[in-house]
């Protein structure tokens, strides 16, 4: 973005703040329903259009001060479909690309949304930062520890605004929960229990290899991941999550959302010191996957204990919730998911009264829109967004370390963050950085 446009965008935020509309919400009210001058508008591009990336783009396009100027996907069928939808719904005509590197040469683009499988996030973020674009990158921030480190360095080196797609941070009710816990009115936080049980976590039913669809550049889909002689839909669109080369299974896919809340409650700003994990594939042998269908993890933090459980292939869990989180404090427990939360007080036997107020909050969540709004505000103000690249790294590390503890058979791992290595496990250290397939090179930033 050129300097004069950046100054104009910044002035827009200053004006909104001056009108008493401080913070993300205020700025968004200011913009919605108004015609925006081109100089106030943030021009967006999307890489990876099939599912999540497109929905994130739509969250942004609800804002009057955004425009979609480019779409990129290695599947031309997806690209054509999404491009037609953008024209029909928003009257906009984005340029289309199959190679994101070509797209990043487009000087009209201010910011890029990355909605590709996890093994692509690092390269695409670094290249976007180098090209002077701001970035909204989906979670988990990357598919390995070292890629997360590189992404933090690139964001800071190139002074870019990077929002990570852990959108629960933008939700009012999660913010209320954090405030309540940190106020200590429920007593000391002792334990955070998290779980996520989803059918998709066991992968799809095994199917035979098939030809690469004509619309797909499979080599570019694989990118830095190992070459494959055959193509199988069980490892492709959506299903890539359950294969180590591209994703980390339920542990990273849902784990990062809930671990983010578990750490925020502290708040905990450090990387994990100790991870204890057990996992296995115990069910659905007719389904195709590598990642574990069953896992139990414990992270002993300095002030409280955090645990994670998943049993993929089941869709139920404690309190009849397929996923959820329980913050256990001395005087009460807060039970939460994306639809709201419940405060369940402990009983004081001596005084014969509850030790805290019982409360139930149900809320229609606007977190997706708010997260997009926060990103656009920060592009204009040049402040850090609500989920920074450091937040994305920290949370991804907790999830990756649980997978690494099981993959290595170590089951208990100790992390030395200052030296970016596991203490006492050469096996685990092999998992810190991925081996990129040529000609792709893990950036050194
Ligand atoms: N924040 C959330 O709540 C949330 C929800 C779902 C998914 N996600 C995340 O979003 C990301 C995408 O997930 P999904 O479900 O949309 O996956 P998907 O497989 O449905 O879509 C990925 C798209 O990226 C395209 N793609 C792959 N490599 C590409 C490349 N090099 N250049 C351009 N396009 C490329 C694919 O062709 C496909 O269209 C993942 O990181 C996932 O974890 C986040």
Please give the average per-residue pLDDT across 240-261, as a whole number. 98
| Percent of the residues in the chain that have a pLDDT greater than 90, as a whole number | 90
Is it the case that residue 273 has pLDDT exceeding 60? yes
Q: What's the CA-to-centroid distance between 117 and ligand 1, angstroms?
A: 4
DSSP 350-387: TTTEESS--EEEE----HHHHHHHHHHHHHHH----SS
Mutate to test the pocket of ligand 1, among 80, 104, 138, 228 (most ligand atoms within 8 A of CB): 138
C-alpha–C-alpha distance, residues 218 and 231, integer Å = 8
Q: Which residue spans within 138-188 are E strands per DSSP?
A: 162-164
Q: Closest ligand 1 atom to the C-alpha of 216?
A: 37
Q: What is the pLDDT of residue 2?
A: 52
Q: What's the CA-to-centroid distance between 234 and ligand 1, angstroms?
A: 15
pLDDT tens digits, one per residue of 370-404: 999 999 999 999 999 999 999 999 999 999 999 99
CA 185, distance to chain mean position in Å, is: 30
Q: List residues bridging with 111 in a β-sheet.
A: 44, 134
Q: pTM of the prediction? A: 0.94
Work out the mean pLDDT of the chain and round it to a whole number: 93
CATH, domain 172-363+394-427, list 3.40.50.720, 3.90.550.10, 3.30.565.10, 3.30.360.10 = 3.30.360.10
Q: List residues bridging with 196 in a β-sheet.
A: 323
Domain with CATH 3.40.50.720 in the chain: 3-169+371-388
CATH, domain 3-169+371-388, list 3.40.50.2300, 3.40.50.720, 3.40.50.1000, 3.30.750.80 = 3.40.50.720
């Amino acid at each position: 973005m050129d300097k004069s446009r950046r100054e104009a965008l910044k002035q827009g935020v200053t004006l909104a703040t001056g009108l008493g509309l401080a913070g993300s919400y205020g700025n968004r009210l200011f913009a919605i329903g108004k015609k925006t001058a081109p100089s106030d508008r943030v021009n967006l591009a999307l890489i990876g259009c099939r599912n999540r990336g497109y929905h994130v783009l739509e969250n942004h396009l609800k804002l009057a001060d955004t425009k979609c100027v480019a779409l990129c996907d290695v599947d031309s069928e997806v690209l054509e479909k999404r491009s037609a939808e953008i024209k029909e719904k928003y009257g906009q005509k984005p340029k289309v690309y199959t190679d994101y590197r070509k797209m990043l040469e487009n000087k009209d683009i201010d910011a890029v949304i990355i909605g590709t499988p996890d093994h692509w996030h690092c390269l695409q973020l670094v290249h976007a930062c180098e090209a002077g674009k701001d970035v909204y990158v989906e979670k988990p921030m990357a598919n390995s520890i070292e890629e997360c480190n590189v992404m933090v360095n690139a964001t800071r080196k190139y002074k870019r605004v990077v929002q990570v797609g852990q959108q629960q941070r933008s939700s009012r009710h999660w913010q209320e929960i954090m405030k309540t816990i940190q106020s200590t009115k429920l007593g000391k936080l002792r334990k955070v229990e998290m779980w996520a049980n989803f059918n998709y976590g066991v992968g799809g039913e095994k199917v035979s290899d098939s030809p690469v669809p004509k619309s797909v550049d499979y080599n570019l889909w694989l990118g830095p991941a190992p070459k494959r002689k055959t193509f199988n839909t069980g490892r492709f669109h959506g299903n890539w999550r359950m294969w180590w080369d591209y994703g980390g299974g339920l542990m990273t896919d849902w784990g990062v959302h809930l671990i983010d809340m578990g750490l925020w409650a502290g708040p905990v700003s450090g990387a994990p010191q100790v991870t204890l994990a057990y996992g296995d594939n115990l069910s659905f042998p007719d389904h195709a996957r590598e990642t574990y269908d069953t896992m139990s993890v414990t992270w002993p933090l300095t002030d409280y204990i955090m645990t994670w459980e998943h049993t993929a292939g089941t869709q139920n869990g404690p309190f009849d919730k397929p996923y959820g989180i329980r913050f256990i404090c001395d005087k009460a427990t807060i039970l939460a998911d994306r639809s709201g939360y419940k405060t369940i007080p402990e009983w004081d036997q001596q005084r014969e009264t509850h030790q805290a107020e019982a409360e139930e909050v149900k809320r229609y969540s606007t977190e997706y829109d708010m997260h997009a709004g926060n990103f656009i505000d920060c592009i204009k103000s040049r402040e850090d967004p609500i989920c920074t690249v450091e937040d994305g790294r920290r949370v991804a590390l907790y999830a990756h370390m649980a997978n690494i503890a099981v993959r290595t058979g170590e089951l208990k791992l100790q992390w030395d963050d200052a030296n970016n290595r596991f203490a006492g496990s050469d096996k685990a250290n092999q998992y810190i950085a991925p081996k990129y397939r040529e000609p792709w090179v893990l950036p050194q930033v």
